[in-house]
Chains A and B, each alone.
Chain A
Amino acid sequence: MCGISGLGMMCRILEYSADDARINEAFEEAMILARHEEQTLDTVRIWQNRKTVVLSSDGDARASLDEDACKNNGVVIVRRASSGRVMYQDQGTLNLTYVIDQKSFFPDTDSLTEVHKRLWKPAADVISKLSADVEVPAYGKDLIIDSGRVAQAWIRFYHNLMLFQLSINVHANLGALKYVLKHEDRYTNLRRELSNSLGMDDIKRALIDSTARQFGVSFQEQNPSPAEKRLAGRLFEVKYSKDDWNFAGKAPLSLRDVLVEVYVAYPPTRSCREIIENIRSATRDLEDRVELRIWMRGKGLDGKGSPPGVPMSSALIDASKKSIIPAIIINGEIAFSRHVASAEDLRDKILQTLGRKV
């Protein structure tokens, strides 16, 4: 695929689909994490899943799908990181994901409703041109043709970044929906609604053109970056391959083996500063395995607010409610509270926790 000239900004286009839907979802999250780590270009990913039920981050697996029917028909069950509706996907479903810095991509508006509208527009235009006169759905709504659900979108935030996932039923197997989803909810696909034997590649091409025009961007075709591959691999290992996530919706606290949350005063007192110093000293050579987050009371991560997508453990929330400060929380359990733990004690505790993880 060659680059498409737009008016200004350069964007990355990534056409990448794994055979395993769980890897695809891991890759979605990896893209936004890698974008945050590396400050790479805003990215549009075009991808497809094989037969899959995609649950939302807060969806109830038991209530949403027939697990036996999925198993018997080779339908993979995976949970995505964004909220919204459960969806059946297969090779007839086209996914389009934007990973963008909302403020730089849309410098003229802070309105999420407006951003949502603009991100939907290229797809709505393409579908309109195929003779179905559709409008961009309102925030939180799906794209409907003749009371049938054709396309849906979800948003997730991570720090200043936005992940906008759009799924279009081009010619997804509507029969499969009925046996895997407990509430079929009037899904339809473009091929049926438009009586048009659309080719998936034509739709992809039209979407890319429409996106370039709409945003005045130039696309640069790229492959997954090493950071994305590394993070996707790790996310698959600790999250997307696990029933804890896919069925119970329980995400790991960190991608590393140990998460240390330090809860201190704002601004940090002498004892708080001593604790921060001690924990940094205790973990200096363990950075690959230990993630350190310093939360300041009422002022968020590093005293700079609470970034979207960075959760607090329930023990940290509890410490916050009970004013247990300072506190050191290791893998979701309060390990030291209201006193200055020495670097040696901290390290012993962390090594002990790491030992349990081996």
Chain B
Amino acid sequence: MIEVPPEMSQEGEELNRVQHDFTERINTAKNQAQQPLEDAFPCLVCDKLMLRFEQISECSFCGKAETADYQCPDGHYVCEECRLSTAEQLVKNTCKHTKETDPSKIANLLMKHPAIPMYGTEHHYLVSCVTLAAMRNLGLVDIGPREFDKAASLAKIPPLGSCALWGACGAAIGVGIAFSIAMSVGIMSGQNRSLVLNLVSETLREISKLGGPRCCKASVILALDVAKRFLTETYEVKFDETKHSCEFADQNLTDCPKERCLLYHRSCAG
């Protein structure tokens, strides 16, 4: 049974017709799976087949409601603006909109978008912005678009490869930037300055356990684990403690160490 998301819900016959039409299209597409499907694409979010579907839908990234063109059976839709946007626009728009309180979930969603490449400085500001968004949604900080702009502009400074060139991964620095903004830390600050320094060094220690070659996805995952651990210890925030395996290993055709990575198989609680 295909679930129709609430924003698509219509009453009575219309709903049935929409559901029926969608199911038919999915089934037809599955039956023709060996033939080229010019009009069907795997969903960016869940990988199920997206088909042409012209109803009002909400963007899974920025939340904008508009008439959809492609949508998957789980109701995932990516708006035209998000599909065309730069990585920075995408990250900021998603973080401004999201209601998600787990930064890892926001990061995982963003990293599935094709605007975010396998490697790159995009991951640095992604960490800052998703951490701030989650803290805002947890009621820990009161921030607006300006803070996301500031986080992104600061986190863009570490260059590609800063992990190796500086000994400081941009994702770890991204954690420091997020907490620095959230706690209004400046060079004259006392305890909070120590706190952000400690967070960055703790994140770097975690990332250093990965060894090589560099992996921006793994760095983001570990950086956010540290940020969440701090939020739990300091603010008693409860996160889902399941440690999911990396979802990006199959897409990384060149450098992923697979079994040798500590994130490749970690489907265990806590």
Are A and B physically bound partners? yes
Closest chain B residue to A296 by CB distance?
B114
User: Residues 267-302 of chain A: 1 if any B CB is under 8 Å from the residue's CB, otherwise 0?
Assistant: 101110000000000000000000000001111000
Q: Is B50 among interface residues, defined by CB-CB distance under 8 A?
A: yes
By a CB distance below 8 angstroms, the chain B residues around A299 are 41, 114
Per-residue interface assignment for chain A, residues 299 to 324, with 1 indicating a CB less than 8 Å from any chain B CB and 0 otherwise: 10001000000000000000000110
Are A303 and B115 in contact (CB-based, < 8 A)? no
A265: Cβ under 8 A from any B Cβ: yes
Q: How far is the CB of B152 from chain A (nearest CB, A)?
A: 15
Contacts of A271 in B (CB 8 A): 80, 84
Query: Could you tell me if A269 and B84 are in contact, using CB atoms closer than 8 angstroms?
Result: yes
Q: How far is the CB of B182 from chain A (nearest CB, A)?
A: 28
Count chain A residues whose beta carbon lies closer than 8 angstroms to a beta carbon of B: 15
Whole-angstrom distance between the Cβ of A310 and the nearest chain B Cβ: 15
Chain A residues positioned under 8 Å from B83 (CB to CB): 265-267, 269, 297
A132 at the interface (CB under 8 A from B): no
| Measured CA separation A27–B69 after assembly (Å) | 45
Verify B117–A298 contact, CB threshold 8 A.
Answer: yes
Q: Which chain A residue has the least Cβ–Cβ distance from B82?
A: A265
A255 within 8 A of B: no
A-B contact count (CB 8 A): 41
A325 adjacent to B50 (CB under 8 Å): no
Contact A266 B84 (CB under 8 A): no
Size class of the contact patch on chain B: 10 to 19
| A270 and B80 contact, CB distance less than 8 A | yes
Cα of A322 to Cα of B120 in the assembled complex, Å:
12
Bound-complex Cα distance A271 to B81 (A): 11
B41: which A residues are within 8 A, CB to CB?
Answer: 266-267, 299, 303
B117, closest chain A residue (CB): A298
Closest to A323 in B: B86
Minimal beta-carbon separation of A263 from chain B (angstroms): 11
Max count, chain B CB within 10 A of own CB: residue among A266, A296, A303, A325 = A266
Name the residue on A nearest B112 (C-beta): A298
> For A297, what are the chain B residues with a Cβ–Cβ distance below 8 Å?
83, 114-115
Q: Are A298 and B69 in contact (CB under 8 A)?
A: no
Q: Which residue of B lies closest to A324 (CB)?
A: B86
Q: Which residues of A sit under 8 angstroms from B80, Cβ to Cβ?
A: 265, 269-271
The minimal Cβ–Cβ distance linking A306 to chain B, given in whole angstroms, is 9
Bitwise, A218-230 to B at CB < 8 A (1) or not (0) is 0000000000000
Cβ A323 vs Cβ B87 within 8 A: yes
Cα A325 to Cα B113 in complex, Å, equals 14
Q: Is the CB of A323 within 8 A of B115?
A: yes
A266 with B69: CB separation less than 8 A: no
Does residue B44 face the partner (Cβ distance < 8 Å to A)?
yes
- Asked whether B70 is an interface residue with its Cβ less than 8 Å from the other chain, the reply is yes
Bound Cα distance from A87 to B86, whole angstroms: 46
B16 in contact (CB, < 8 A): no
The minimal Cβ–Cβ distance linking B67 to chain A, given in whole angstroms, is 10
Chain A residues closer than 8 Å to B69, beta-carbon distance? 267, 269-270
Chain B residues numbered 25-84 whose CB sits less than 8 Å from any CB in chain A:
41, 44, 50, 69-70, 78, 80, 83-84
List of B residues within 8 angstroms of A265 by Cβ: 80, 83-84, 114
Chain B residue at smallest Cβ distance from A305: B253
B residues lining the A interface (CB < 8 Å): 41, 44, 50, 69-70, 78, 80, 83-87, 113-115, 117
**A-side interface residues toward B, CB under 8 Å?**
265-267, 269-271, 296-299, 303, 322-323, 325-326
**A to B CB contacts below 8 Å, 18 in the list:** A265-B80, A265-B114, A266-B41, A267-B70, A267-B83, A269-B69, A269-B80, A271-B80, A271-B84, A296-B114, A297-B114, A297-B115, A298-B114, A298-B115, A298-B117, A299-B114, A323-B115, A326-B84
Given contact pairs A298-B113, A303-B41, enumerate 9 new A-B contacts (beta carbons under 8 Å). Answer: A266-B44, A266-B83, A267-B69, A267-B78, A267-B83, A269-B69, A271-B84, A322-B86, A323-B86
